[in-house]
Chains A and B, each alone.
Chain A
Amino acid sequence: AQRVTQPEKLLSVFKGAPVELKCNYSYSGSPELFWYVQYSRQRLQLLLRHISRESIKGFTADLNKGETSFHLKKPFAQEEDSAMYYCALAIYNQGGKLIFGQGTELSVKP
């Protein structure tokens, strides 16, 4: 079955600390994974996708097919990183629909 799991509901760190938001997936095909972010009172928006291998706002994510994971990392968290983060998996043969995880709320304290 296709599934995305984010085991942490809430992650609280201090400013300047490293942060890692966990994401595990279950999919029989070749995975296409994304991280979406929703800042307070803003729309959900794409943060990054694994195929681009890009770093956005200091965040990176590496696809580990062996561990079926796509964890989001940032070496030094900032207060403005506080938001809701969702990991998502694209299903190519079903119109490009995305399956989302449960979300992790990141709180960065001063």
Chain B
Amino acid sequence: DVKVTQSSRYLVKRTGEKVFLECVQDMDHENMFWYRQDPGLGLRLIYFSYDVKMKEKGDIPEGYSVSREKKERFSLILESASTNQTSMYLCASSLTRAGDEKLFFGSGTQLSVL
């Protein structure tokens, strides 16, 4: 079974702090994604990566950055956390092959910024 592991289930941070959300997958997937999940807004793509050291902006990249130094690990960074970044963050991975875009999700990190 594919496993996507997010390092923290709950995080509480203060405004202005630098925050790191870590995600690791164990199935050698090329693609990795970061979404945030908000009630009424669904899942919105923040950043994704289709190869090591590659990254692409999603629909809402402002205030975020990412790092992918190794294939299995994809980190989301909030350079200076703000209260409007309080959300559930979901990491996902998938294979690249066309027609095989099934995403495997982590269990999520609920981030609260005070």
Interface residues of A (CB under 8 A from B): 6, 9, 32, 34, 36, 43-46, 49, 51, 86, 90, 92, 94-103
Contact = CB atoms under 8 A, between A and B. Distances in A.
Nearest to A102: B42
Contacts of A99: 45, 59
A90 B101 contact: yes
A49 B48 contact: no
B42 A6 contact: yes
Given A44-B90, A86-B43, A97 B102 contact: no
Contacts of A95: 31, 48-50, 56, 96
Interface of B: 31, 33, 35, 40-45, 48-50, 56, 58-59, 90, 92, 94-96, 98-103, 105-108
B32 to A, nearest CB: 10
A101 B43 CA distance: 7
Contacts of B59: 99
Contacts of B90: 44
B21 to A, nearest CB: 16
A60 to B, nearest CB: 18
Nearest to B30: A95
Nearest to B44: A100
Contacts of B95: 96
B42 A32 contact: no
Given A43-B108, A46-B102, A95-B49, 18 more contacts: A32-B99, A34-B101, A34-B102, A44-B103, A44-B105, A45-B105, A46-B103, A49-B102, A86-B43, A95-B31, A95-B56, A96-B31, A96-B98, A96-B100, A97-B31, A97-B48, A97-B56, A100-B42
